[in-house]
């Protein structure tokens, strides 16, 4: 029973990691990274490390994707503002 859960968790992790790498949009990559963090937290819990799983859930599933999303948003806003100011100066 435990071996089957471990194999399923590893397969889900591998599939999600592949999906994160295959995404071209950074916002989508952050969302898939959040799912990957959740699967990794489940895997740590299956391996009898619930404290590490909780840490992974907080950092890998919530904080890191949130920081990536905020950074992408800021870069996109700055790019739009610079494009608007350059177009009006001509």
Q: How confident is the model at residue 9 (pLDDT cuts 50, 70, 90)?
A: confident
How high is the mean pLDDT of the chain? 88
Residue 27 CB contacts under 8 Å (≥ 6 apart), including other chains: 69, 72
* pLDDT higher than threshold 90 for residue 59: yes
Q: Whole-model pTM above 0.85?
A: no
Confidence tier at 2 by pLDDT (50, 70, 90)? confident
Q: Above 90 in pLDDT, residue 54?
A: yes
């Amino acid at each position: 029973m435990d071996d089957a859960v471990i194999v399923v968790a590893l397969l889900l992790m591998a599939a999600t990691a592949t999906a994160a790498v295959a995404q071209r949009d950074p916002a989508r990559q952050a969302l898939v990274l959040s799912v990957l963090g959740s699967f990794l937290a489940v895997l740590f819990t299956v391996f009898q490390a619930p404290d590490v799983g909780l840490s992974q859930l907080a950092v890998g599933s919530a904080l890191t994707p949130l920081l990536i999303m905020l950074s992408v948003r800021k870069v996109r806003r700055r790019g739009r503002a610079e494009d608007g100011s350059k177009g009006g100066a001509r």
